[in-house]
A and B are shown apart, each in its own frame.
Chain A
Amino acid sequence: MRIAVASGKGGAGKTTIATSLAVIAAERGLTTTFLDCDVEEPNGHLFLHPALCQKQVVNVPVPQLDEKTCRDHGVCGRCGQACHFSAIVCLGDVVVVNPDLCHGCGACILACPANALKEVPHRTGVVESGQAGALRFAQGLLDVGQAMASPVIRRVKEWGAQEVPAGLTIVDAPPGTACPTVEAVRGSDFVLLVVEATPFGLHDAALAADTLEALGVRAAAVLNRVDRFVEAGRGITEFGGAILRGTMPVLARIPADRQVAEAYARGQMPIGVVPRFRQAMERLLTRLLEVARREAA
């Protein structure tokens, strides 16, 4: 079973909740894998302290031009016409390749009648993997300056799919609703949407809920950092859209807790030092697995 932990807004508590659930699941004897797919800013490792023993470079195949062959065939310019990402531009008899814009789709290679283009690897990031206690662990790291997170995310997911045990995989997804979030969530059996119970958080969660619906993935919400205002039921209807339309069950309401924030700020897992938070996470995992198994069945 693969469960992605997502959020609309950044800083909603996604990593705290994802790492907590993974650790508790492993304690319960489930074979558990943690995949950090927030490859722009992966933070799970800061709390899980994995021993990383494998490192795989992530490459996107980008075209390389054999100028002589190209010229011999009259610089037809079809590669430039085929590229929808401006990664190959043909101006007169000059062909320029910009690997940073290339999606690695191969359309230019298919278009070239002269076989003047071949694909060479262009590095965009790494996948690091290993073991964090009882957890299997992998994280993607997008290289700084690279724009496209999706290929790195795909490789983290591929690592997680190897030797699939009959266990649980927790995916820490990037915040938002754009392509990296979609790539991280795609293929999951269920999504836990972490909702920061503030106007910003509720608004962004409603957008994320729309995206999950478009993807056709089943999801449930956890309301995080709930204070008296939200407890009184105000705010949610105004800002929370889909969640309160009843299309998404709310599995738990986690109160705002300065002790949790301080533990996090010290780099400690809050489940290790704040007993009431551990209890909340224990209950959340039980409910989440119940609901996810029911939905998957």
Chain B
Amino acid sequence: MTVETGAFFMRDRRRHPPALSPSYKTSVARSPRLPLLSLGSTMSEITGPVFGHGDLGPLDNDLIRNFASTGDPVGERIIVHGRVVDERGRGVPHTLLEVWQANAGGRYRHRNDRHLAPIDPNFGGCGRCLTDETGAYAFRTVKPGAYPWRNGANDWRPAHIHISVFGTGFAQRLITQMYFEGDPLIARCPIVQTLPDPAAIEALVAPLDMNAAVPFDSLAYRFDIVLRGRRSTFFENRPEGN
């Protein structure tokens, strides 16, 4: 495997939510107000943690089984799959994905979640996997439910799965949320609407993928993830940090 050492492309911050997004109230007191300091990629940014199969257990990517004790969790069985690529379209192999979500009733297994929907004794709500050599990944779960949250007086989150991904350098570190095609709550969600660009919102909506569904077992959704690209090192100045 070729080790990439090029600097990362400049991040297009218009693609991301601004730190201060008043409709998402918690962001107001938690958003930096001074300009970020631009820093080229140094060795500390082009490198990042490396994970291997020894870090994972055999059921880690199967949320239907990885916490089950008395049977399968309640809910619509789904497969979520896709590829992790960079902005040049190249697969990002052997990188760690971690996911977490509410159960089918919209309740998280978390000491701070007080939503009245019940905990599912057979559902933990988290999973993790490594991409393969092409950047492909898959996990199996139940479709999460929508739930109310304290922001406006009657704000509800659309069904979503949180996804964390590493890439090859610490500057690629990303957390996002995957939404489901056709959910009418997407357009009403203050967190989704922190994204100023409608095309960016569409990039977070996973389509139903019947070709990946398992008949009489599970539906499927496809969600591709794009991490920052990095420069090739042709005609490069001496890479910073080397």
Answer yes or no: are A and B bound together in one complex.
no
Interface residues of B (CB under 8 A from A): none
Interface residues of A (CB under 8 A from B): none
